Amino acid sequence: MSQPQFIVEGGRPLAGSIRPTGNKNAALPIVCAALLTDQPVTLENVPRIRDIESLLSLVRAAGASAEWTAANTLVIHAKTVRGDTLPPDLCARIRASILLAGPLLARCGEVTLAPPGGDVIGRRRLDTHVLALEALGATHEFGERIVFRAKALTGADIFLDEPSVTGTENAIMAAVAAKGTTILHNAASEPHVQDLCEMLVALGAQIEGIGSNVLTIHGGRPLHGGTFRIGPDHIEVGSFIGLAAVTRSRLVIEDAGVQHLRSIRMGFDRLGVTTEISGADLIVPAEQEMRIRSDLGGAVPKLEDQPWPAFPADVMSIAIVTATQCEGIILIHEKMFESRMFFVDKLVGMGARIVLCDPHRALVSGPTQLRGAQVESPDIRAGMAMLIAALCAQGTSVINNIGQIERGYERIDERLNALGARIQRVANG
Ligand SMILES: CC(=O)N[C@H]1[C@@H](OP(=O)(O)OP(=O)(O)OC[C@H]2O[C@@H](n3ccc(=O)[nH]c3=O)[C@H](O)[C@@H]2O)O[C@H](CO)[C@@H](O)[C@@H]1O
Ligand SMILES: C=C(OP(=O)(O)O)C(=O)O
């Protein structure tokens, strides 16, 4: 069945306030972490997005209950769980299915998964997950099925081969259940990793070094139930900064989690897009310089992604669209995923001046007037980037395959229409 489309009328300025939803990439591991205890866990500010619904289907298949008690409040109760009943098609739908490995291994001593899915943005390793779980005492089988087994999990001194986000999260969840102390070196430290740690601490875990790349976890303490509120999605905030800039709109991004925005704001600053902090809110003024800042001596500047706390890979696609509306030239270097930049073809089709140097680097020269077009949305962030491009373009655009956008952004058409956008969601065919 074909997916609905967005019909977007471009060129309209937006205005008003918008609140980011809870962080998708925090909510996903935190839902999994709720399976570590047999007590009920209440999660607030959970985004109502497709990836969460897919994960909840997996959680229920494992034997836990998961009920929405308010629009964004979820109660998970994993009184008993099983690790051998996860439907392969659901595992293949989302990257986050792999995050069930740590908690179900800890609870059941064995877990069987199918290889995870997620955005088709290039090869996605699982080696770090295996490295960490093996160090804690698990064995693994890897093929059409991924099986982890452990009679007992024991704390260990672990150096991760890369600061994998989900790899770190799996390691943390397993280490919290393991007897003894685990030291995780070269750990990822993104806001979502921090949120997961804080949630586990709220349930009784002992974790030191939260926010750094060395975590010390004193495991084996029984976890109780509790309530935890998911933090705001900094990637969504980055998306709204780009949206405001290219539509020349003043937007107030409420309760934006400003403590986590330094690298994102600095990245947009390089494009000539400045933002202001006002209490807990972030303001994007309508008047922007939109002039790319050259490096010293007039050299061509570069915007590159790196592990946290540097500029996040998931905001790169949004930065590319923004750069098409700024005066000057900039090299965008996406270091991580081999297929994430291919969507720039679609921007070129809309009038952007972009040279894709190789799968990781693109040279963007602006500003160019974008024209409405019929486009696909290949992954969550490219999809959002296309939506932003359509809102800034002259004329009408059609965005197909919007299920990709809705994997990560809650009611995005409704929320942007409340700011003055014209986005119509229509059934396709
Ligand atoms: C469900 C979930 O949480 N998904 C996120 C998670 O995926 P996921 O956990 O699958 O990504 P991984 O962190 O395992 O893989 C990316 C690897 O590349 C490294 N790296 C990162 C940036 C960079 O500029 N250069 C570099 O080499 C990372 O440190 C990491 O080692 O983290 C990715 C990296 O943030 C995000 O894109 C995904 O949205
Ligand atoms: C790549 C992303 O998601 P996932 O890891 O779930 O595919 C993303 O959130 O941009």
Question: In terms of Cα–Cα distance, which of 97, 50, 46, 98 is closest to 76?
Answer: 46
Please identify, among 229, 263, 282, the residue that sits at the C-terminal boundary of a domain. Answer: 229
Ligand nearest to the CA of 407: 2
Residue 286 CB–ligand 1 contact under 6 Å: no
Residue 195 CB–ligand 2 contact under 6 Å: no
- Domain of 243, in residue numbers: 5-21+232-426
Give 94 Cα–ligand 2 centroid separation in angstroms. 8
Instruction: Tell me the per-residue pLDDT of 83-118, one tens digit each, with 9 for 90 and over.
Output: 998 999 999 999 999 999 999 999 999 999 999 986
Longest dimension (CA), the chain: 64
Give 220 Cα–ligand 2 centroid separation in angstroms. 31
71 and 49 belong to one structural domain: yes
117 and 199 belong to one structural domain: yes
Mutational test site, ligand 2, from 23, 91, 95, 235, max ligand atoms within 8 Å of CB:
95
Q: Is the ipTM of this complex over 0.90?
A: yes
172 and 253 belong to one structural domain: no
166 and 255 belong to one structural domain: no
Q: What is the CATH number of the domain that holds 409?
A: 3.65.10.10
Tell me the average pLDDT across 258-275.
98
Residue 127 CB–ligand 1 contact under 6 Å: no
Q: What is the pLDDT of residue 119?
A: 67
Burial 68-91 (b: 16+ CB within 10 A, else e): eeeebebbbbbeebbbeebeeebb
Tokens of residue 397, six digits: 């655009």
Q: What are phi and psi of 322, to 5 degrees?
A: -60, -45
Tokens of residue 194, six digits: 């921090």
315 and 253 belong to one structural domain: yes
- Give me the sheet containing 422-426, strands edge to edge: 374-375, 396-399, 5-9, 422-426
Q: Are 284 and 319 in contact (CB under 8 A)?
A: no
- This prediction has a pTM of 0.97
State how far the Cα of 300 lies from the Cα of 310, in Å rounded to an integer. 20
Minimum-distance ligand 2 atom for the alpha carbon of 124:
5
DSSP state of 428: -
Q: What is the pLDDT of residue 15?
A: 98
Report the mean per-residue pLDDT for the chain: 96
Query: Annotated catalytic sites, by residue?
Result: 119
Give residue 313's pLDDT band: very low, low, confident or very high (50, 70, 90).
Answer: very high
Q: What is the pLDDT of residue 1?
A: 58
Give residue 304's pLDDT band: very low, low, confident or very high (50, 70, 90).
Answer: very high
The answer to whether 95 is a known ligand-binding residue is yes
Residue 415 CB–ligand 2 contact under 6 Å: no
Tokens of residue 197, six digits: 């740690």
Please identify, among 200, 229, 258, the residue that sits at the C-terminal boundary of a domain. Answer: 229
Q: How many domains does the chain have?
A: 2
The answer to whether 341 is a known ligand-binding residue is no
36 and 84 belong to one structural domain: yes
Question: In terms of Cα–Cα distance, which of 121, 118, 150, 210 is closest to 130?
Answer: 150
Other beta carbons less than 10 A from residue 344's beta carbon: 22
Residue 233 CB–ligand 2 contact under 6 Å: no
Q: What are phi and psi of 398, to 5 degrees?
A: -120, 125
pLDDT > 90: percent of the chain: 93
Give 166 Cα–ligand 1 centroid separation in angstroms. 8
Q: Are 56 and 96 in contact (CB under 8 A)?
A: no
16 and 51 belong to one structural domain: no
Burial class (CB in 10 A: 0-12, 13-18, 19+), 299: exposed
288 and 139 belong to one structural domain: no
Please identify, among 210, 229, 248, the residue that sits at the C-terminal boundary of a domain. Answer: 229
